[in-house]
């Protein structure tokens, strides 16, 4: 759709971009390198032993500045989920509605947000056991939530 504003033709069509991806920077680069290898690892404080997310140079529990990257199971319980019916922000999201995002409390402690698989979204409820699975999106590995059938 176009309009003529004082002699100038202005396009009113929304340009749909590609999927927005997380920015990989020096602080979180190690996280994405492990994800690319198929490993979910998070920082664990060397002083107090707390596992943390998001990535941080300082432990939020004890303020120590030393951490190591430890493997985590990717399993936990769904804290909450939201179904997005109307997207805002980047136009790409409007091409994806409806979609769901969930918050999982990992067995190791930290909480992470992740997309919920469309086929699983109607069947997931707070308190359900879930696991994080890697998903390759444009060369960046993202996490999505799926139901976890524990042994």
Smallest Cα–Cα separation from 84: which of 68, 70, 95? 95
pLDDT score recorded for residue 4:
45
Last residue of a domain, one of 55, 72, 89: 72
pLDDT score recorded for residue 139:
83
pTM: 0.80
Last residue of a domain, one of 72, 91, 111: 72
Give yes or no: residues 79 and 120 share one domain.
Answer: yes
The Cα–Cα gap between 150 and 128 comes to: 11
Q: Which helix H or strand E contains 20, and what residues bound it?
A: none
pLDDT at 16 over 50: yes
Task: Kindly state whether residue 4 falls inside one of the protein's structural domains.
Answer: no
Cβ–Cβ under 8 Å, residues 40 and 34: yes
Region for 136 from its dihedrals, namely left if φ exceeds 0, alpha if ψ lies in -120 to 50, beta otherwise: beta
Q: How many domains does the chain have?
A: 2
Give how far the C-alpha of residue 134 lies from the chain's centroid of Cα atoms, to the nearest Å. Answer: 10
Average pLDDT over residues 92-96: 87
pLDDT grade for 119, boundaries at 50, 70 and 90: confident
Burial status of residue 112 (CB atoms within 10 A of its CB: 0-12, 13-18, 19 or more): buried
40-74, pLDDT tens digit by residue? 999 999 999 999 999 999 999 999 999 999 999 99
Task: Kindly state whether residue 143 falls inside one of the protein's structural domains.
Answer: yes
Which residues form the domain of 140?
73-151
Which residues make Cβ contacts (< 8 Å) with residue 9, sequence separation at least 6? 2, 3
The Cα–Cα gap between 117 and 77 comes to: 16
Q: What is the CATH number for 87?
A: 2.40.50.840
pLDDT at 151 over 90: no
């Amino acid at each position: 759709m176009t309009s003529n504003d004082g002699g100038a033709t202005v396009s009113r069509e929304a340009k749909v971009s590609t999927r927005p991806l997380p920015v990989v920077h020096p602080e979180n680069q190690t996280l994405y390198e492990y994800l690319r290898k198929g490993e979910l690892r998070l920082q664990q404080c060397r002083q107090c032993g707390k596992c943390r997310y998001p990535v941080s140079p300082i432990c939020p529990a004890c303020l120590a500045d030393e951490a190591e990257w430890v493997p985590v199971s990717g399993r936990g319980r769904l804290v909450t989920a939201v179904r997005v019916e109307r997207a805002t922000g980047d136009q790409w999201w409007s091409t994806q509605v409806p979609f769901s995002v969930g918050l999982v409390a990992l067995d190791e402690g930290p909480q992470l947000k992740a997309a919920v698989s469309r086929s699983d979204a109607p069947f997931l409820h707070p308190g359900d056991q879930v696991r994080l699975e890697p998903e390759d999106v444009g060369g960046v590995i993202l996490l999505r939530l799926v139901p976890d059938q524990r042994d």
